[in-house]
A and B are shown apart, each in its own frame.
Chain A
Amino acid sequence: MGKFLKNFGLGLVYILVLPIFLAALAIAAVYGFFACIVLFCHATYRFFKGEDPFKRLDDDKKVDTIKIAQMNNEMHLQPAAPAQSIPASPSNVYVQQNYYQNNRANHQKEANSEAAKPVEANGFYKDAPALGGASRKNQAIDVTPKETPSLTSNHSAPAMPNRQQTLGFIDIPKDDDGKDK
């Protein structure tokens, strides 16, 4: 009932305001009509001059400048993306690395005591002190050149290390990689 009365009251108000609203609408319609004609002539003139129909306002240009400056600023100040920590899953857990980290001490002892013998998987010899190989502490292959090449120097391309200069090989036990099973 309250809503009904409210609508009734609003209706009374609107019928009082209606003439004013209609007058405003008529005045705005006349203004809009002529504004459209003027804008149409102006836009047509600019269009046939090869320009945009509507000139870009100075304030809009300033906004564009500020936006571009902000974007450039963000691009230059943006820090390097932090390395994403990937949760452990069967596809990205390398058994070999875990094996060496967990059994480094045992392998050191074995390397010192064992004689050189062929590895059944790849046929290479294990590095052993008797053969002049590196110890287990230098397990990783050293691929960094001894002398850093410079584009300005007259040095030729660095010579590739031959097989005899190889310090050691990574032992990949067949049972531990988890792929051959």
Chain B
Amino acid sequence: MSLIDISLNETDRRLLIVLLIVLILFFVLLGLLGMLIRWISNEFAKRMDYELHDVVVYRVIQDPKSLRKYGMIKNNRVLFKQAIAPFIIAFLSLILYLVYSSVTGLWAKDHFSEFSTLFFNFDWSNPKFYDYFWGLYLLKQWPDWIPSAGPMWVGDFWDSYLLVPMWLVSGVYFAVDIQAFLARLAMLEKRCRTVFNKSLDGYNYYDTVSINSPGQKENEAPKQQRQQ
């Protein structure tokens, strides 16, 4: 008698293989997506270097604390400027929603389901497309398309066709701006650590070559050598 009894029939074995392949592909895609997001974040972070450049190069700011404070103010201002566009879109959608709802009296209308009539709709809720596997209901077959649910244009849903894209665009736009804000914040922290960094790597007190300061003449021997 084994400790864990695992008995798989043919269907379970097939499902397991499919699940493994799907999982591997999912992780690979997620890795690629993460790399893309990291690259975009690095591009966004360059803006912080642009903002900090002058005050650092002209040595106006001389400690990490002041640099962090200055960088935060600049970062907030950049976020505000970048967020103007999504805020305007969101504001317009709010006005449209208020006007439409006050005129029609439909305040709790499901705009998203109305907007989904523009796309293909599948029968996700049907249990026959799922299988029970190790305590989980997993999708075993792609669900059927429901032709009556779309894609089609319904004239009465014009408000949803306007409002939902505006909400989505403003939301995604603001999320991208927030991602840029976080990327700049990370860059600011990095610069605060590295710009004022004093490193003693490769330095030795008794090293006669590197002991000379830039202003010291080369033929000036250190005190220790002169005493000898």
Contacts and interface: CB of A to CB of B under 8 A. Distances in A.
Chain B, interface SS category: helix
A65 to B, nearest CB: 9
A54 B87 CA distance: 19
Given A29-B175, A60-B55, A54 B34 contact: no
B80 A35 contact: yes
Contacts of A59: 55, 60-61, 66, 70
A8 B33 CA distance: 11
B28 A57 contact: no
Contact of B30 (A14, A57, A60): A14
Contacts of A32: 79, 83, 174, 177-178, 181
A12 interface: yes
B73 A57 contact: yes
Interface in B172-214: 174-175, 177-179, 181-182, 185
Contacts of B179: 25
A11 B34 contact: yes
B96 interface: no
A11 B182 contact: no
Contacts, number: 84
B27 A15 contact: yes
A6 interface: yes
A17 to B, nearest CB: 8
A4 B24 CA distance: 10
Q: Taking chain A's interface residues, is the majority helix, strand, or loop, or is none over half, making it mixed? A: helix
A9 B31 contact: yes
Given A40-B80, A59-B61, A63-B58, A6 B31 contact: yes
Contacts of B35: 7, 10
A15 B76 CA distance: 29
Interface string B156-184: 00000000000000000011011101100
B80 A25 contact: no
A170 interface: no
B27 A12 contact: yes
A25 B178 contact: yes
Contacts of A7: 27-28, 31-32, 35
A28 interface: yes
A67 B59 CA distance: 12
A57 B52 CA distance: 12
Interface string A24-67: 11001100100110011001000000000010010110110011
Interface of B: 24, 26-35, 54-55, 58, 60-61, 66, 70, 73, 76-77, 79-80, 83, 87, 174-175, 177-179, 181-182, 185
Given A11-B26, A63-B60, 11 more contacts: A10-B30, A11-B31, A12-B31, A13-B34, A24-B182, A28-B178, A36-B87, A62-B55, A62-B60, A63-B55, A66-B58
- Kindly list the 6 A-B residue pairs having the minimum CB-CB distance in the complex, ordered from nearest: A11-B27, A10-B31, A11-B31, A7-B31, A11-B30, A14-B34
